[in-house]
Structure 1
Amino acid sequence: MTGSFASDDIVAALKAAAEPTRLRILLLLAGGELSVKDLTVILGQSQPRISRHLKLLTEAGLIERFREGSWAYFHVSDRSAGGRLALDILALVDRDDRVVARDRERADALKSEREAAAQTYFQAHAADWDRIRALHIAERDVEQAISDALGPGPFDLLVDLGTGTGRILELLADRYERGLGFDLSNAMLAYARSKLSTSKLGQAQVRHGDIYDLSLQDEVADVVIMHQVLHFLSEPALALREAARVLAPGGRLLIVDFAPHDLEFLREEHAHDRLGFAPAQVENWMKDSGLVPKLQRDLAPSPGSEPEVLTVSLWLGEQPREAKNRDRSARSRTLQEAP
């Protein structure tokens, strides 16, 4: 067992986990963050019953809770003693058990539905996506902050995850030898290719790709950017881990997204899965992915702005130079072979 625990705490934790539904909840939350609503759909039980189980698990320290607007999300964190104890307990569970497998299938289906809703939104708004962004933030100021955070370069390979219209590839075109943008929306990719072609950016390309499973080898990118992407994802931490995987030693990950807010209409009307992110939340995800946080900056709207104008946050993380050992010539060959 990882770490040490007081005997009373162990007894309380084991009592909390020793109930079929609560054990199923722990297994689901070990696989990713879920809301009360998500769990009621997956498990087919009432909201009061699920809330009661979550309360007991939280009080026992086995799971953590955080709020986004009117929603609450829960997860098992390996940064806490209780979370590590929960993971030790779950390691004993047969993952091929019929009930466990069914819960996992329902959770996967729910996440797929949410991702599909986001893709439907992207396809409906591909041509005016830049305009929609401008409704919420001062894009000019954000782009200047992105430029300042990354510095002048040059970068061998810059990767833009959730590239959308390809604006980031266009903005930073003078700083990289090769740029790759990945997106799941074919409509977005078609629009981005058109823009890049018009701008005559031959060193920039866009590819259809899964942000959770990139078609790139390890350690190939000098810079990875995730601009206004995380709030659409059901598993932001997993996306950060994949971004960190492709970063070279000394490479940097820049995340640009909204600070926490309570504009609930963005969930239904604009497919936002998350209502912004607290600074510590993203920094912890970076640390869990092996990155060193280097910068966190908030860009607040000017006084007198409309209520819909949101604060934008930037996070910059760096891959430690000593974390991986790979010579430059081998990396250059990988770059040439990148898709």
Structure 2
Amino acid sequence: MSEPITFDAILAAAAATGEPTRLRLLALVSETELTVSELVTILGQSQPRISRHLKLLVEAGLVERHREGSWVFFRIAQTGPVGGFARDVIERLAPGDVHLTADCARLDQVRKTRATQAANYFAAQAANWDQLRALHVPEEKVEAAIRAAAGPDPIQTLLDLGTGTGRMLELLGPLAARAVGIDQSPQMLSVARARIERAGLRNVQLRQGDIYAAPVEADGYDLVIMHQVLHYLDDPLRAIREAARALRPGGRLLIVDFAPHEDETLRTAHAHRRLGFAAEEIAGFMASAGLDLTMKSDLVPGRGEANKLTVSLWLGRDPRVLADPLPVTTREFA
């Protein structure tokens, strides 16, 4: 049963949604988090007008707002009774409604522009990708923490979403009976294939695919890792939900990314969409994806590393229980 909403809260929410532009805005931010400038582009209205409408939606509790450096992101409220009201309203909109079709087409174009910019960046940087990791605390510290989080026990099935150059597969692949790496960039996958071949890892498969619709089976992986991936994405929650879909009962999701920072140059120079993630934000994403957060740790720069970024690790677990675990070969082909 839905959580009850107070009389005044329902009135405020109804008033906020009862205007054409605000309902269009609510529908758009239910798809992905968007900036004011992106919403201005999609709706073709002035920035002050869009900002006023967003302010009313935020005040009514229908939309969440968070600032990152010079950028401000908006998305439909994820929690609370009014958030549930907002999602119910959007779910009841008729698919293909004439008032929203053009907005959806322009949203798709915004997403394609983002994807093209990211793809161009990854293609240009594939050969020297590992050197770019010098932005944060030493890689050996990060990898030691990743190995510790993965644990010493053998892994039946491992999935690396956004595998890039395949370093995580090289690091954790020897622990797994089977490992799969997914990446959108052919150039990155070429580098990853060469790395995997050099390492002699015959249990690893590489596939080109969309992180939002990974070409992998559901309920099939003991450990899913997303290493330095989320800050490139326009919809981190959607990607985490896709990762959760791939987890078997009791499986674990390990996220490695930057803690919040203010280095705006990473947006333009390195195609970063987000400037890190706060602990409570990833915890909220995990909960929304149906996962229990079991571990959070920060790797803070030490002496002589003043200009380095802090790296955070989050470990989530699928709360379902697999009563009678099957061997990996049986699960794959049954």
Greater shift, 28-37 or 229-238, is seen at: 28-37
- Which runs of structure 2 are paired with 1:89-100 in the superposition (5 Å)? 89-100=89-100
Alignment equivalent of 1:333, drawn from 325, 330, 333: 330
* Counterpart secondary structure, 2:164: coil
1:121 positional shift: 0.7
Where in structure 2 are there 5+ consecutive unaligned residues? none
Counterpart CA distance in 2 for 1:29 and 1:325 is 39
Q: Which residue of 1 aligns with 2:211?
A: 211
Where in structure 1 are there 5+ consecutive unaligned residues? none
Counterpart contact for 2:136–2:311, Cα < 8 Å: no
Are 2:84 and 1:114 equivalent residues in the alignment? no
Counterpart CA distance in 2 for 1:137 and 1:183 is 24
Q: Which amino acid aligns with 1:317?
A: G
Summarize the Cα distance change of 1:136–1:130 in structure 2 as closer, same or farther, 3 Å threshold: same
1:157 positional shift: 1.0
Q: Which residue of 1 aligns with 2:294?
A: 294
Counterpart CA distance in 2 for 1:92 and 1:177 is 45
Aligned length: 334
Counterpart CA distance in 2 for 1:80 and 1:32 is 19
Q: Deviations over 1:285-319 (max 9, x none)?
A: 11111111010001111134243x11100000011
Counterpart CA distance in 1 for 2:89 and 2:191 is 48
Counterpart contact for 1:115–1:234, Cα < 8 Å: no
Q: Which amino acid aligns with 1:40?
A: V
What is the aligned-residue RMSD (CA, Å)?
1.7
1:200 positional shift: 1.2
Q: Which residue of 2 aligns with 1:64?
A: 64
Counterpart CA distance in 1 for 2:27 and 2:274 is 22
Are 2:74 and 1:77 equivalent residues in the alignment? no
Q: Which residue of 1 aligns with 2:313?
A: 314
Greater shift, 238-247 or 62-71, is seen at: 62-71
Q: Deviations over 1:210-234 (max 9, x none)?
A: 1111122111111100000000111
1:56 positional shift: 0.8
Counterpart contact for 2:174–2:201, Cα < 8 Å: no
Q: Which residue of 1 aligns with 2:38?
A: 38
1:325 positional shift: 6.5
Counterpart CA distance in 2 for 1:24 and 1:304 is 50
Q: Deviations over 1:60-108 (max 9, x none)?
A: 1111111111111111124122111122333343332223011112112
1:238 positional shift: 0.7
* Counterpart secondary structure, 2:191: helix
Summarize the Cα distance change of 1:90–1:203 in structure 2 as closer, same or farther, 3 Å threshold: closer
Q: Which residue of 1 aligns with 2:29?
A: 29
Q: Deviations over 1:112-155 (max 9, x none)?
A: 22122111111101110000112333111000000111101201
Counterpart CA distance in 1 for 2:135 and 2:14 is 50
1:23 positional shift: 0.7
Counterpart CA distance in 2 for 1:26 and 1:205 is 40
Percent identity reads: 49
- Which runs of structure 2 are paired with 1:34-183 in the superposition (5 Å)? 34-183=34-183
1:326 positional shift: 7.0
Counterpart contact for 2:217–2:246, Cα < 8 Å: yes
Counterpart contact for 1:2–1:85, Cα < 8 Å: no
TM-score, scaled to structure 1:
0.94
1:172 positional shift: 1.6
Counterpart CA distance in 1 for 2:269 and 2:324 is 46
Counterpart CA distance in 1 for 2:331 and 2:41 is 44
Q: Which amino acid aligns with 1:50?
A: I
Counterpart contact for 2:61–2:77, Cα < 8 Å: no
- Which runs of structure 2 are paired with 1:236-255 in the superposition (5 Å)? 236-255=236-255
Runs of 4+ in 1 over 6 A off after TM superposition: none
Counterpart contact for 2:66–2:72, Cα < 8 Å: yes
Q: Which residue of 2 aligns with 1:282?
A: 282
